[in-house]
Structure 1
């Protein structure tokens, strides 16, 4: 199995994404985000295309984002249903999120 490489790409001042790629595979998995404040991002959408499905890509992307949040001192608004669902299963991540586990994000 080719190595999964995850990077963070900023797109302008307020948007970006975490991107997962396998060597030799054209498709990319991603979690898109929007900077909502100096220390807050909204995890907007998680997408994993069919050629990458079933290989743990979404979980690897989420783990990368959580590590980035810990390392860089920001918190996450769990807007994306996948991120919200995983957070509900892992209340120990509460210090990284702006809501309680299982709680819907507050309107922006």
Structure 2
């Protein structure tokens, strides 16, 4: 699985690809310069149950840690995954 990021000053997304096919995305909106809100996670139906959403969230966490950014998980999937994984909660705003 390959994760790619697109980012600008207002919003961005992490996209997952499996065998060069779009498998899912996690989108966010910036809330200032050091915080963003995860507002959507989507996984293509044919990739359900393959860990696409969790891998997207792990990429978000890695990015947030590397760039000293805090995350607000508005998306229900992201919020639930953070709640189940205390080791990821250091990036929460």
With normalisation by structure 2, the TM-score equals 0.92
> Greater helix percent: which structure?
2
Structure 2 unaligned residues grouped into runs of 5+? none
1:39-58 equivalence runs, <5 A = 39-58=34-53
Q: Which runs of 4+ in 1 moved over 6 A?
A: none
Q: Residues 73 and 79 of structure 2 are in contact (CA less than 8 Å); yes or no, is this contact kept in structure 1?
A: yes
> What RMSD in Å do the two structures reach over aligned CA positions?
1.3
Q: Look up the SS of the partner of 2:81 in the other structure.
A: helix
Larger Cα Rg: Structure 1 or Structure 2?
1
Equivalent residue number for residue 31 of structure 1: 26
Larger RCO, structures 1/2 (Cα 8 Å, 6+ apart): 2
Structure 1 unaligned spans of 5+:
99-108
What residue is the counterpart of 1:102 in the other structure? none
